[in-house]
A = this chain, B = another copy of it.
Amino acid sequence: MSVDIYEAMSTLRAVRRLRQEPLPEDVLGRILQAAAWAPSGGNVQPWRVVVVRDAEKRRRLGDLYRPQWVKYRVGAVEGAARLEGDARAKQQRMLEAADQLGERMGEAPVILVFCFNPSRMAITDIDLGRPTVVGGGSVYPAVQNVMLACRAEGVGCTLTTLLCYEERAVKSLLDIPEDWYTCGFIPIGYPQLGGHGPISRRPVEKLAYADTWGAPF
């Protein structure tokens, strides 16, 4: 199977309604290989992924996720209410899909749990007196490779970080060592509906500046 890289990027939408059907071993293998190829600071690869297929562990992850989604959705509903017309209808469709995921994350055939070890990272922005993100530079490229590989394989996926609120329980469930932490949860599976397709993003002109902040590219 060959999928053009721009085709994959431009149709990588969050797919939240997943079939319970297991993923073939070779498909899952290619998705994980994509993660392994990602660059990281000093090529240290300070991340690991726990591939959760065990039904009981998935159920428990789903049980931990449900109340976190319920809490988070309050803000999302308020946000949708401030929109109008098409944007509002679209946001409401997203909410319905997210509600289904909130209810049933544990039914996804695979949940990928990304972990990282900060002691193996050079976090260059840690002392700047503002939230640090640089550690993520050695983890989320691998996460993005996973998502793009899912797209290439026709597998639905979406990244959530809400389960970080339950990190202690997740670490206990999966035997994650003291010095490793959670940073991304990706339920994956074949799509119930159309799966991948068009995405809504800001145009480049709103995101890229020429030489100086605010100067249109």
Contacts and interface: CB of A to CB of B under 8 A. Distances in A.
Interface of A: 2-6, 8-10, 12, 14, 29-30, 32-39, 41-43, 45, 47-54, 57, 72, 76, 79, 115-116, 118, 121-126, 128, 130-137, 139-141, 143-145, 147-149, 152, 159, 161-162, 164-165, 167, 174-177, 180-184, 199-204, 207-214, 217
A48 B131 contact: no
Leading 8 A-B pairs by shortest Cβ distance: A136-B136, A140-B140, A141-B144, A133-B135, A133-B136, A118-B131, A125-B164, A124-B164
Contact of A5 (B4, B43, B125, B207): B4
Interface centre among A42, A122, A208 (most CB of B within 10 A): A208
| Interface of A (DSSP majority class) | mixed
Task: Report how many copies the assembly holds.
Answer: 2
A4 B6 contact: no
B124 A162 contact: yes
Given A9-B34, A49-B207, A204-B33, A137 B159 contact: yes
B183 A147 contact: no
Contacts of A180: 213
Nearest to A179: B130
Given A5-B149, A136-B137, 10 more contacts: A5-B152, A29-B204, A35-B204, A36-B204, A36-B208, A41-B161, A48-B213, A52-B211, A137-B159, A175-B212
Contacts of A126: 131
Contact of A32 (B181, B182, B217): B217
